[in-house]
Amino acid sequence: MFTATIALIAAQATGTDEPAPAPAPPRCEGAQFEAFDFWVGEWTVTPASGSEPIADSKIEKVSAGCAIRERWMPYRGGHGTSLSAYDPQTGNWHQLWVGAQPGRVFFDGGPHEGKMVLTGYWGKDAQGNAQLVRMTYSVQSDGSVRQHGQSSIDHGLSWSDSFDLIYRRKDASE
């Protein structure tokens, strides 16, 4: 409403009936916004320690290039979606994960030494302690992407391996 009123006042000031075009929104371009682009693509996912694929994953730029959406499609159920975006106000990347079970998980972080590192509280251990999960995404020498997950029950003082996945481009593996 406010923007339309300003446009109408501007149009009246110039003597035309046409409102002035709205200014273009800021663009999501530059190194900060492109730091996670290496993950964009269509992938076959395998455990790092195995060769049998466990999932497909489609990762694409959405919302005029301001966000990255993953569609996680495991072969045995448990589908999910993540939406990741750079926030210029905080200088961090934020990721929202929604899986096949009720609830959601928020991760925060950003690029570190050529890798994308995101952390967030996700689930509980066998004793009911909240688990801090750190996911490190890195490009491998063959162009694949490794997603290494580690968990901590002492708020990041110590870490243990949780999962280790390799994303291989579908066009490269066919």
Average pLDDT over residues 87-111: 95
Asked if residue 109 and residue 86 are part of one domain, the reply reads yes
pLDDT at 136: 98
- My answer on whether 10 and 42 are in the same domain is no
42 shares its domain with 22? no
Residues 4, 90, single domain; the answer is no
User: How far lies 140's CA from each of 33, 43, 156, 164, 173, in Å?
Assistant: 21, 14, 25, 13, 15
- Shared domain check, 87 and 53: yes
Query: pTM of the full predicted structure?
Result: 0.82
| Domain shared by 73 and 2, yes or no | no
pLDDT at 24: 73
Q: What is the chain's mean pLDDT, rounded?
A: 89
Give the residue-averaged pLDDT of 115-139.
93
Judge whether residue 4 has pLDDT over 80. Answer: no
Q: Does 133 lie in the same domain as 103?
A: yes
34 phi and psi angles, rounded to 5 deg: -105, 5
For residue 53, give its domain range.
Answer: 35-173
Task: Specify the number of domains making up the chain.
Answer: 2
Q: Tell me the pLDDT band of 53, cut-offs 50, 70 and 90.
A: very high
Q: For residues 93 and 146, state if they share a domain.
A: yes
Q: How confident is the model at residue 158 (pLDDT cuts 50, 70, 90)?
A: very high
Give the residue with greater pLDDT, 22 vs 66. Answer: 66
Calculate the alpha carbon distances from 120 to 48, 100, 145 in Å: 22, 18, 20
pLDDT over 90 (residue 131): yes
| CATH number, residue 83 | 2.40.128.20
Q: What does the pLDDT average to over 134-161?
A: 96
Average pLDDT over residues 33-41: 97
